[in-house]
Structure 1
Amino acid sequence: MAASMTRVWQMAPSLVQCRSLHITLGLEKAKTGAEQLWLTRQQRDPYVKAAHAQNFRCRSAFKLLEIDKEHKILRPGHHVIDCGAAPGAWSQVLVDKVNSLEQDPAASVGFVLGVDLLHITPLDGVVFLSKCDLTVPATQEKIINLLPCGQADVILSDMAPNASGIRELDHQRLISICLSLLDFSETVLRTGGSFLCKLWDGGESNLIRDRLRQRFHYVKTVKPKASRTESAEIYLLAKLHKDTTYK
């Protein structure tokens, strides 16, 4: 699995990350019609504006906030792995949710570990592994060594390969990434823990759902309002990781 996944990542050497929120149409004209459409959409996007206002690095922060508000997967004291963390918006949410900076001295103190193939600007309350491939055993060993007691309460993944424009190929690449992460979760995720991964919905989505149902007591498909309506993006949420020690 590790070898095949390395080939997948070589085909898509960097994760899709949010583009800069600093858009000034008066200073920079779009060179193509597609760029102009993207800039116009960003200008009108209420989540982009809210991200500016609340100092989030990316609008995707609101996806995690919405999912957690409805499903209660994060709490103070949790140890969390943020996979595909760049540019760091989910990690910003996690710092507050798990109390990793001991903002609340009366609550348990959590731990946040972010991993990405890209560089991630440092963030107080988070340990980042930049330019690291999660599918490589050496990276997985680093994660285990950095996690308190070598285990996580929650694994979150917003990872995705760069889109090729071929929908089925992109879908299969993301399925392979999720399968690799799910295999790794068996090593680090505590019994009772939670797992959340992004998919581009397609023909093999049920493969991930079936694997999750084997390993968790609760599995649900979620699409937060902050996910654009036209996007094939969905999230699979799994809670209550089963004890697989003797299986």
Structure 2
Amino acid sequence: MGKSSKDKRDIYYRKAKEQGWRARSAFKLLQLNEEFDLFKGVTRVVDLCAAPGSWSQALSKEIFGKPHSDDARIVAVDLQPMSPIDHVTTLQADITHPKTLEKILEIFGGEKADFVCSDGAPDVTGLHDLDEYIQAQLILSALQLATCVLKVGGTFVAKVFRGRDIDLLYGQLSYLFDKVICAKPRASRSSSLESFIVCIGYRPRPGWKPELRPDVSTEEFFQGMGIGRAKLNDDLSVDDEERKIAPFIACGDLNGSYDSDATYPIDKKDASSDSKKSLDPVQMPTAPPYKKALEMKRKGELRVTK
């Protein structure tokens, strides 16, 4: 979380700093849990694309300290390094690699996960069709690992970019879960394409055994599921692709009706000279952009040529 003038006015950004969250996105997961009770009975969790770790923070706070939490395990996975979080095992690894799956199952003692989530997203280009496609591929990559590690009846939650072809992704997920819902937490800006897909009740397809392999694409991975795809028959008739629509709901309150797109002044009672100072980040970046270039510039090893 940086210190731009826009971010200073963002109420969820300010609340995240005040409450010790690494990023404002923690409120999105908490609001989803408030609506769907995602953490009930959950003891084994995989947080994919986890850096900087705000979702893992929320999971640790909500799961540990409750009955039967002594055996709980939370694994956070990301290609980027992450600073330690209480009760969370962090893995700097590729979510598409079989060794990552093996390590997660080893941490869980061979048991399957109750809950898998992903708040990952690519750097957006502004070209909505392209951004939606890349995000869908990231979700399918996360889903690959989820189908291998998630227990029957488990839950999968992931960030999505809603666009004109989102119903195809809904349809694919509907073959694997009893209930698929698209939710927009209040902490997510309404001006953003971002929403979250909540998939409840994992049920593997009959006769289909997911196997994570580095040489297999997402398309090839899901081929054996028996999903109805559009195809042209010999008589030139067309079997339409099976698509489903997930219900869309808005959610999130957490005892404060804040609008993430609105600008809120600092409370008068907190308007002392000390409170006007910008709060330091909860956790400094472990791998900030251009780190190597900045270090070289300080040492005089980087020169700009015209």
Q: TM-score, normalised by structure 1?
A: 0.78
Task: Tell me if 1:126 matches 2:88.
Answer: yes
Deviations 1:111-164 (A, max 9, x none): 11101111111111100012x221122223222222232411001010111122
Structure 1 range deviating more: 227-236 or 162-171: 162-171
- Give the Cα separation in 1 of the matches to 2:111 and 2:37: 23
> What displacement does 1:77 show?
4.6
Contact 2:42 2:115 in 1 (8 A): no
Quote the offset at 1:180 in angstroms: 1.9
Query: In terms of Rg, which structure is larger?
Result: 2
Task: Write 1 or 2 for the structure with the bigger share of helix.
Answer: 1
Matches of 2:141 and 2:26, distance apart in 1: 24
Which position in structure 1 is the counterpart of 2:175?
Answer: 214
Number of the residue aligned with 2:34: 69
CA distance in structure 2 between the aligned counterparts of 1:204 and 1:112, rounded to whole angstroms? 33
Distance 1:150 1:208 in 2: 28
- Given the superposition, is the C-alpha separation of residues 148 and 41 from structure 1 closer, same or farther in structure 2, using an over 3 Å criterion? farther
Q: Does 1:113 align with 2:78?
A: no
Q: Aligned residues: percent identity?
A: 33
What is the match of residue 8 of structure 1? none
Q: Could you tell me how far 1:245 is from its partner in structure 2?
A: 5.8
3-state SS of 1:223 partner: strand
Q: Give the Cα separation in 1 of the matches to 2:80 and 2:157.
A: 21
Alignment length, in residue pairs? 207
Extract unaligned runs of 5+ from structure 2.
209-306
CA RMSD of aligned residues (A): 1.7
For 1:173 and 1:72, the matched residues in 2 are separated by 29
- Residues 146, 107 of structure 1: alpha-carbon distance in 2 compared, 3 angstrom cutoff: closer
Name 2:18's counterpart in structure 1. Answer: 53
1:192 and 1:77 mapped to 2: Cα distance? 11
Give the aligned partner of residue 96 of structure 1: 61
**Post-superposition offset of 1:211:** 1.4
Aligned residue runs from structure 1 range 30-41, under 5 A: 39-41=4-6
Question: Within 5 A, what are the aligned runs for 1:87-236?
Answer: 87-99=52-64, 103-104=65-66, 106-109=67-70, 110-130=72-92, 132-236=93-197
Tell me if structure 2 keeps the 8 A contact 1:175–1:204: no
Partners of 1:178 and 1:59 in 2: CA distance: 21
Cross-structure match for 1:4: none
Gaps of 5+ in 1: 1-18, 24-38
Q: Retained in 1: the 8 A contact 2:147–2:204? A: no
Instruction: State yes or no: 1:44 paired with 2:6.
Output: no
